[in-house]
């Protein structure tokens, strides 16, 4: 199983019936493809839609029905549309149960940096800061390392997205949560030992008595 599939499939296991879920771009988008069969959740697109469906079949796209990247999507039965004030009211107001976002760095205290690299990449934060500030649960879906460098760091060197810590990080090799504000190794990817995960993790991780493998 490739890294992205491991991450998306494990994150999808966090979804509960009836959840209102907002997926960020990149790996988080893939989570929609791994929703367990029979589980009904609502996906929000922050440009004004609850009930986003798959990419439309050829000839079925509508120019006024797009995702937050401007790409055509479909709407499922029961979908609802609304303006941006409502959309961010849902996000900031705690009505979104889970947001899944990509990350550049997450630190030992659960702080996320995911919106800029000073002097290099300054695209703007879009909806990321509101999502991390307001969603009930924030899950980060990202590769454990980039160019050989751990993205789970002691302290974020990049500008923070929010002062509010995230709830969970799912990478291709580990699941990390932050009980009591401390980064804790909850699961490892199948076939990996705790030591192997720690060897490629910059942040210090607490190790509970039981660290099961991800069930994928």
Partner 1 sequence: MKSVSAEEAVAMIPNGASIMVGGFMGVGTPERLLDELVRQKKTGIALISNDAAVPGKGVGKLFEGGQVSRMIGTHIGLNPKAQQQMLANEITVDLIPQGTFVERIRAGGCGLGGVLTPTGVGTLVEQGKQKIEVNGKTFLLETALRADFALVHAFLSDYVGNLSYALTARNFNPVMAMAADTVIVTAEHIVPVGVIAPDHVVTPGPLVDYLVANG
Position among 75, 145, 198, 211 found at the interface with partner 1 (CB under 8 A): 75
The reply to whether 202 belongs to the active site is no
For residue 188, list its beta bridge partners: 174, 213
Shortest distance, position 116 Cβ to partner 1, whole Å: 8
Q: Which is nearer to partner 1, 62 or 155 (CB)?
A: 62
Position among 66, 143, 150, 184 found at the interface with partner 1 (CB under 8 A): 66
Cβ atoms of residues 102 and 28 within 8 Å: yes
Rounded CA separation 2/144 (Å): 13
First to last CA, the chain: 10
Shortest distance, position 121 Cβ to partner 1, whole Å: 8
The residues in 79-138 that bind partner 1, with binding defined as CB under 8 A, are 81-85, 88, 91-92, 121-130, 133-134
Residues 160-199, mask of contacts with partner 1 (x by CB under 8 A): xxxx------------------------------------
Rounded CA separation 127/84 (Å): 11
Rounded CA separation 187/210 (Å): 9
Position among 65, 104, 141, 177 found at the interface with partner 1 (CB under 8 A): 65
Catalytic residue among 14, 37, 46, 187: 46
Q: Which is nearer to partner 1, 67 or 187 (CB)?
A: 67
Rounded CA separation 46/24 (Å): 10
Kindly report the number of other CB atoms within 10 A of residue 200's CB atom: 16
Task: Please work out the total of residues on this chain that contact partner 1, with binding judged by CB under 8 A.
Answer: 39
Residues 6-45, mask of contacts with partner 1 (x by CB under 8 A): ---------------------------------------x
174 is written with which tokens? 């580990």
Rounded CA separation 76/20 (Å): 14
Q: Which is nearer to partner 1, 1 or 80 (CB)?
A: 80
Q: DSSP strand E in 36-179: where?
A: 42-45, 49-53, 74-81, 98-101, 105-107, 112-113, 137-141, 145-146, 149-150, 152-153, 168-170, 174-177
Active site members:
46
Which residues contribute to the site for partner 1 (CB under 8 A)?
A: 45-49, 62-66, 68-70, 75, 81-85, 88, 91-92, 121-130, 133-134, 159-163
């Amino acid at each position: 199983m490739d890294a992205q599939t491991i991450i998306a499939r494990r994150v999808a296991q966090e979804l509960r019936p009836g959840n209102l879920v907002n997926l960020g771009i990149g790996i988080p988008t893939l989570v929609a493809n791994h929703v367990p069969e029979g589980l009904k959740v609502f996906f929000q697109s922050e440009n004004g839609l609850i009930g986003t469906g798959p990419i439309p079949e050829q000839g079925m796209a509508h120019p006024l029905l797009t995702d937050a990247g401007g790409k055509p999507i479909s709407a499922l039965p029961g979908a609802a549309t609304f303006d941006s004030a409502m959309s961010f009211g849902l996000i900031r107001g705690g009505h979104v149960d889970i947001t899944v976002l990509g990350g550049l760095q997450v630190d030992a205290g659960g702080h996320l940096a995911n919106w800029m690299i000073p002097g290099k990449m300054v695209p703007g934060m879009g909806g990321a800061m509101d999502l991390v500030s307001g969603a009930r649960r924030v899950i980060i879906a990202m590769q454990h390392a980039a160019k050989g460098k751990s993205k789970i760091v002691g302290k974020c060197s990049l500008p923070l997205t929010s002062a509010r810590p995230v709830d969970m990080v799912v990478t291709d090799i580990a699941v990390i949560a932050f009980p009591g504000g401390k980064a804790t190794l909850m699961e490892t990817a199948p076939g990996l030992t705790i030591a192997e995960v720690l060897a490629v993790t910059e942040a210090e991780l607490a190790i509970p008595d039981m660290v099961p493998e991800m069930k994928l």
